Amino acid sequence: MRMTTPALAIAVALSVGMAACSRQEPAPEPVRAVRTMTVGSDSAGGSHEYAAEVRARTESRLGFRVGGKITRRQAELGDTVKAGQVLAQLDPQDLKLAQDASRAALAGAQSNLDWATADFKRYKDLRDQGFISSAELQRREVALRAAQAQFEQANAQARVQGNQAAYSSLVADASGVITAIDAEPGMVMAAGAPVLRLAHDGPRDVVFSVPEDRIGDFRALASRSASLKVRLWGSNELIDAHVREVAAAADATTRTFLVKADVGKAPVKLGQTAAVLAEMPRTVGVIRLPLTAVTELQGKTSVWLLDKGSMTVRPQPIQVAGADGNTVVVSGGLSPGQTVVTAGVHVLTPGQKVKLYNAGAAAPSGAAAAIASR
């Protein structure tokens, strides 16, 4: 039976309308496989190792006390020098001329003082004989005092110029080792500009940097004079050291605090590389998580908690107290007994269905956490 043209058009329209009304359902979100652990109470602390360097207790940047052109440098990098040894020399010509001028001024002031002294004595005799008035004698006394002051001024200036001339030689103020050179012959130096760096003989320190979360432990070690262990590069021998100084402010670039430990009379050399081993007291009752469990969500450090009843996950912000090896010490946001996702956190969304990875295989449990699996 053949359909008429109007009937055919109606049938086509109905089929198109039914097709438009029927929408395909979106594909269900896949169930992600995750690893989990049940958090528990643990302890933090133990032994920590830091890279360190041996330095002198006192290290001076030596520079000339006057400005001028360097003509000679008698010290090289690594040289051992004695106190009083000349290390560098400035061109002394201008300083010597200034010294000669001050000596000439002193001689003129001395002559003026001698004349004023003799003049006052002569007028004093005339006053005693009644030939002049007291006012005339007072004028001669004032002139004598002025001459005396000019002489003292010229004498002091001559001593200053003498010192300035002596400052043309850079002298080691202590025995030690040259550890750096900042200027070469021919350079014109301003007064006080560093020329050499001198590590003084005497005590040696191991110097190392400590992150912000550990600085409180080292301040406590310094307060009770607790010892550290130092191992020099290429040696298995452990040397006792004591925290001597902890920086009050963090470095602007690395945000770490500089710590100096005294190694006593141990046979160490300047610049040696060392490892500092610090035994910190263990804190009981903290929560530790592997680094893989921690992520950042909306600018907050967070973890994913698993609801075992519905097998869904939700984010939970946490407060991190620091790192301990490959684990994170959590100071807030979690309670013992909660189940945290430790692997697969980068693909999760709030309320997402998950399943346990390698379900049915029991994993060993530790004091800090137990792997949850069924």
Interacting residues of 47 by C-beta distance below 8 A, sequence separation 6+: 277, 278, 279, 280
pLDDT computed for residue 322 by the predictor: 67
Domain boundary among 283, 308, 338: 283
Q: Is 152 in the same domain as 139? A: yes
pLDDT computed for residue 11 by the predictor: 59
Tens digit of each residue's pLDDT, the chain (374 residues): 455 555 555 655 555 555 545 555 555 667 788 888 888 766 555 577 889 999 999 999 999 999 999 999 999 999 999 999 999 999 999 889 999 999 999 999 999 999 999 999 998 898 888 888 889 889 999 999 999 999 999 999 999 998 888 899 999 999 999 999 999 999 999 999 999 999 999 899 999 998 887 888 788 888 777 778 899 988 888 888 888 889 999 888 888 999 999 988 888 888 889 999 887 665 556 788 888 888 888 888 889 898 888 889 899 898 877 666 677 778 788 888 888 998 878 888 888 888 887 644 444 443 334 333 33
CB burial class (10 A; 0-12, 13-18, 19+) of residue 200?
middle
Q: Is 261 in the same domain as 365? A: no
pLDDT computed for residue 191 by the predictor: 92
Domain count, the chain: 4
Write out the residue range of the structural domain in which residue 224 sits.
48-56+202-283
Tokens 């929408």 sit on residue = 23
CB–CB of 89/72 below 8 Å? Answer: yes
Q: Is 175 in the same domain as 215? A: no
pLDDT computed for residue 335 by the predictor: 81
CATH number of the structural domain spanning residue 161? 1.10.287.470
Domain boundary among 200, 218, 245: 200
pLDDT computed for residue 25 by the predictor: 59
Is pTM beyond 0.85 here? no
Q: Is 75 in the same domain as 176? A: yes
Please state whether beta strands 32-39 and 369-371 pair in parallel, antiparallel, or not at all (unpaired). antiparallel
CATH number of the structural domain spanning residue 291? 2.40.420.20
Q: Is 120 in the same domain as 221? A: no
Q: Is 127 in the same domain as 247? A: no
Q: Which two tokens stand for residue 308?
A: 């075992």
> Does any domain span residue 2?
no
**Cα separations (Å) of 29 from 53, 340, 342, 346, 347?**
55, 21, 21, 15, 12
> Does any domain span residue 13?
no
Interacting residues of 351 by C-beta distance below 8 A, sequence separation 6+: 312, 313, 314
Q: Is 258 in the same domain as 221? A: yes
Q: Where are the alpha helices (DSSP H) in the chain?
A: 5-21, 93-128, 134-166, 215-223
pLDDT computed for residue 290 by the predictor: 86
CATH number of the structural domain spanning residue 179? 2.40.50.100
pLDDT computed for residue 269 by the predictor: 87
Tokens 């692997």 sit on residue = 343
pLDDT computed for residue 366 by the predictor: 39
